[in-house]
Amino acid sequence: MHMQKEKYIQELLPIVAKLSEKYTGGTSTSVTFERAQELMEAVLYCIHEYEQEQDFQNALMASEAPCTEEYYQKGFEFVVRKVKKMRAFYNRLSERFDSYGCKNLEAVMEKGLPEFFRRYDARFAPHHTLLALDYPTLLPMDGSAGIDAIEQYLSYLSLEQKFLGAFERTYVLEVFGRYDWNYKKQFFNLCQIFLEHVLGCILMGKPLQAAAAPEHQDRLERWLETHSKEDMQKDLAQVLKRLVDERFRGNELLYEYLSGALPDLTVRLLESRTAVFSWML
């Protein structure tokens, strides 16, 4: 195993050397140790990109054995194509994007992401994300970096827009305002707030835009008193599944994403009971 690793590193060094020459504009192949490490990371990132693609799997099935430099070059081409694809996706999303007045989300969409596409260096630093991604998402980022992180982040934002956009905007804004009059300056996830509102209404048997009545609160309290943590998780998942099936034609990606809000909601229900939905009562 050690010999295989050494052989692999030896195959990478000429690629890094060529990249170093391009980095210095052909004037020198000498770069600092830190810069050489960065360039090695760039090469590894591109190779990893190729390994994730169908072309690589097809090559393996065909018993082809392209050299490591070919892996790198194909991976780099995949990165470049993905950047173009994600820039186009971002532009389409921007045309219909609604931040609902949330300054944090607005800053990410209008400043952060355009800055990423302006500064992203697919050749010398494809592994750099260049963006703090301050607006939180319901599902955690999986540790990906560079354009892969942006692809995942944009897909999450797109799913949130699909969910919130299915309801009247004035109603969505009213819910946010009731939850926190100063919500526009906060750093929580908007989708989670509205999703919890919808799930709470369903659990109480209350029409979405109707005022809460005593029987709604009684129904919620009985549900909380008779459900363990496991029961709550199961019920919430079923309610969410029904909601997605009825309003979003069973969109599996949306269901998976929205499910990311359920563990935290369950914990808070166990700790605070009806206090979680007190702002709705």
CB 130 within 8 A of CB 145: no
Structural domain boundaries, residue 83:
2-155
Considering the domain boundaries, does residue 229 fall inside one? Answer: yes
Q: Are residues 18 and 145 in the same domain?
A: yes
Considering the domain boundaries, does residue 113 fall inside one? Answer: yes
According to DSSP, residue 150 is labeled H
Rg, Å, the chain Cα set: 24
How far is residue 70's CA from residue 134's CA, in Å, rounded to a whole number?
A: 36
Q: What is the pLDDT of residue 129?
A: 94
How far is residue 275's CA from residue 281's CA, in Å, rounded to a whole number?
A: 10
How far is residue 190's CA from residue 184's CA, in Å, rounded to a whole number?
A: 10
* pTM: predicted TM-score of the whole model, two decimal places: 0.91
Q: How many domains does the chain have?
A: 2
Q: Are residues 133 and 249 in the same domain?
A: no
Q: In the chain, which residues have pLDDT < 70?
A: 1-8, 28-29, 54-66, 281
Q: Are residues 145 and 182 in the same domain?
A: no
Considering the domain boundaries, does residue 163 fall inside one? Answer: no
Q: What is the pLDDT of residue 1?
A: 35
Last residue of a domain, one of 155, 183, 212: 155
What are the phi and psi torsion angles at 250 (to 5°)? 70, 30
Q: Are residues 23 and 149 in the same domain?
A: yes
Q: Are residues 182 and 113 in the same domain?
A: no
Q: Are residues 107 and 174 in the same domain?
A: no
How far is residue 229's CA from residue 264's CA, in Å, rounded to a whole number?
A: 12
Q: What is the pLDDT of residue 29?
A: 61
Last residue of a domain, one of 155, 176, 211: 155
Q: Are residues 224 and 265 in the same domain?
A: yes
Residue in 240, 170, 168, 166 with CA at minimum distance from that of residue 201: 240
Considering the domain boundaries, does residue 161 fall inside one? Answer: no
Rounded to the nearest angstrom, the gap between the alpha carbon of residue 166 and the centroid of all alpha carbons in its chain is 20
User: 13 is written with which tokens?
Assistant: 């060094």
